[in-house]
Amino acid sequence: MIMAAWGDLAWGAFPWGGTLTDYALTAGNFSIAYDLLDYTPSCADADPNYPAVNLKAYESPVWMLQAASAGQPEIILDFGATKSFDKLFLGNTNAQWAIYYSSPDNITYTTLYKLPIPLDERVNRRKGIIPTIGFSGRYMKIKLCRDGLAAAAIIYLSKIAIPQTIVEFEINPGFDYKYGLKEYYLKNEYAAGGQERASLNDLKQYITSFMFSNYMKTLESHHFKIATENGQVLPALFWENFPEGGADGSKAYLVFISKDAEITWTSPKLVKSHDYLLEEII
């Protein structure tokens, strides 16, 4: 890994030793989290029409934080008490990397890491799971940045989600894993009847469906951990994590579960699930 000097902290370095390579996401099975940590966001650099509160407005996919002018906006997350977590999700953004800080009092901040924001080539958006190993504090500050000529752009960020309770799949869907893209649009329902659909041509929505074929009945409980009813009402954070190919932080999506699964017994010892359907919140 090429290290580039940056102030008192090198690119991808952690103050307690090691580099981003050492502290990257651990490869495992697919994971999903319904329990997202609450926080109060603020940003002194925000455009008043695109305030920081939009970062956790998960029910409004295209609402976002946007800076009032070009520069490096700083976002402060207040957790209300000291919290520790080892990863967070940054949604759709044009920032290329970010610097992370921790503080117990919102006065004195400790610099933690300077990490790139991955590009998901499927949807052509920067977003993904960011490792935050070692974070502990009541406040986290995130400075969003761009390089070179791109630094003149006004930076935006759609969502921040911090998973707490994570369910790692006991097995992966394998060949039954299917995904695709569709044009994202806003749908407005009229009180008098009918609806209007406004297309957002530059945004592609990720949709996946998968099932588990003929796995041991002893893993039946694994199915129910995934098929929680909370996914119908609350957003879930879902990410791929192939053991064979390593962890790719960009392949993470805020989703609603649009279709719950059902289990079929295919033999006294084997079961399979019908399709889950997960639709991305942009």
Residue 195 is predicted with a pLDDT of 64
Spatial contact of 130 and 87, defined as CB atoms under 8 Å apart = yes
Helix (H) or strand (E) holding 236: strand 236-239
Provide the β-strand partners of residue 93: 126, 157
User: What would the pLDDT profile of 128-177 be if each residue is shown by its tens digit?
Assistant: 999 888 899 999 999 999 987 667 789 999 999 999 888 888 777 766 67
Could you please state the CATH topology (level 3) that the domain comprising 31-164 is classified under: Jelly Rolls (2.60.120)
User: What would the pLDDT profile of 38-65 be if each residue is shown by its tens digit?
Assistant: 999 999 999 999 999 999 998 777 789 9
Q: Which alpha helices (DSSP H) does 203-276 contain, by range?
A: 220-226, 230-233
Residue 194 is predicted with a pLDDT of 67
Residue 19 is predicted with a pLDDT of 45
Residue 126 is predicted with a pLDDT of 92
Query: Comparing C-alpha atoms, which of 249, 248, 252 is closest to residue 239?
Result: 252
Alpha carbon distances (Å) from 268 to 180, 210, 222, 225, 275: 34, 23, 18, 22, 21
Q: Report how far residue 164's alpha carbon sits from residue 33's, in angstroms, rounded to the nearest whole number.
A: 7
Query: Comparing C-alpha atoms, which of 207, 210, 239 is closest to residue 223?
Result: 210
Per-domain residue ranges of the chain: 31-164, 174-280
Q: In which residue ranges of the chain is pLDDT below 50?
A: 1-24, 229-231, 245
Provide the β-strand partners of residue 101: 111, 141
| The length of the chain, given as a count of residues | 282
User: Which backbone phi and psi does 221 adopt, to 5 degrees?
Assistant: -65, -30
Q: Report how far residue 39's alpha carbon sits from residue 79's, in angstroms, rounded to the nearest whole number.
A: 5
Which contacts qualify for 24-27: CB closer than 8 Å, 24 or more apart?
Answer: 24/131, 24/247, 24/249, 25/87, 25/129, 25/131, 25/241, 25/247, 25/249, 26/247, 27/241, 27/242, 27/243, 27/245, 27/246, 27/247
Spatial contact of 36 and 281, defined as CB atoms under 8 Å apart = no
Residue 2 is predicted with a pLDDT of 30
